[in-house]
Amino acid sequence: MPYLLSVGTWTPPFAVEQKDVLAFAREWFKNDFSDVDRLLSVFKNAEIERRHFSAPMDWFKKPRGFAEKNDLYVRTALEGGVASIHRCMENGCFLSEAVDPREIDALFFISSTGLAAPSLDARIINQLAFRSDIVRLPVWGLGCAGGTSGLSRADDFCRAYPEKAALVVAVELCSLTFQYNDRSKSHFIGTSLFADGAAAVLVAGDRSPLLKKSRRDVLPKTVASASWLVPRSEEVMGWDVRDDGLYVVFSKSIPELVKREFRPAAQKFLDAHGWQPEKLDYFIAHPGGKKVLDAYEQALGLEGESLQDARDVLRLFGNMSSPTVLFVLEKVMPKPSHPGVTGLSVSLGPGFSAEMLMLEWVNP
């Protein structure tokens, strides 16, 4: 079974305090909602202190066309993708020596906040001198679920080719989907949560020569993956694509869907392998927001510090969509572990859907 060898993350340079975004939103939406001060409580209750954007706050105070925003997306996503790969493949916390790009056999690129053709994985490959025969799979449209889905697809690849290794790269620049003329409540909520970031994870098959470069005696091994889709739930979460770009769709029913629908799906998945949610050592959850994390706890009967890593990532980075769960993974992987420790990576996304990946720490 494949192993997770290393992880690296990146955020753009414009760090913004939540209190400053709240002030921006108060001014921006003051004429659109008579109860704007009451609605602004979502900023205070989100348990977010800081986020990173791809442009300074003043940039968002002028109307921007889709072409201008997408051009900035392509430039910044390329920078973030390359930086996260460097940090992953040179991460001395996990690796005894750096991994050369020519040692990578597949690249899974995940993003849903901009468009590029050739896709950004091709641009990354050219910039970092990966081999010309590398397997490419750009994935668009999974939103927040993309991080765990990318790990699962890399798992599939490395199971089929156990001597090979794959990179999962997730880049989202949610701030660039801000719509100057969108004064909907979905956009208001999105403004309180979304941020930008990138992450890369190195996955190696159980006969990959890269295992010799691991610095750690115990590594997370993939056990199984699963996907889950709620029928006829397309309107719960996603993008409404219009002439001037992507408009966020964000239903207030998401926490209730997690409580009602997610437990049976997760329980069925775990039961098939004799695992119980309350016995997991790590719950590596995409922190879509405070209410979503609270819903996870209620749905799965989690207690104590199970979601602390996810809450810390939400507090310091906000919801970056697909890379966010990989930021949580970056907090979990360096922790002292022993054989037999278990974890579950979970991300929710448009559809309404979930992606799940079971992990067990073992001696490689």
Q: How far apart are CA 8 and CA 112, in angstroms?
A: 20
Tokens of 115: 């468009």
Tokens of 82: 């390359």
Q: How far apart are CA 192 and CA 304, in angstroms?
A: 26
Q: How far apart are CA 357 and CA 360, in angstroms?
A: 10
Amino acid identity, position 241: V
Q: For 140-208, list the strands marked E by DSSP.
A: 165-173, 196-204
Q: How far apart are CA 107 and CA 124, in angstroms?
A: 10
Q: Which of 88, 144, 158, 174 is catalytic?
A: 144
With b meaning 16 or more CB within 10 Å and e meaning fewer, what string describes 324-362? bbbbbbbbbbeeebeeebbbbbbbbbbbbbbbbbbbbbb
Q: How far apart are CA 360 and CA 348, in angstroms?
A: 21
Has 93 been annotated as catalytic?
no
Residue showing tokens 């490689």: 364
Residues 6+ apart with CB under 8 A from 344: 266, 270, 275, 277, 280, 282, 283, 284, 356, 357, 358, 359
Residue 92 neighbours by CB distance under 10 Å: 10
Q: How far apart are CA 256 and CA 236, in angstroms?
A: 11
Burial (Cβ within 10 Å: 0-12, 13-18, ≥19) of residue 262: buried
Q: Which residues are tagged catalytic?
A: 144
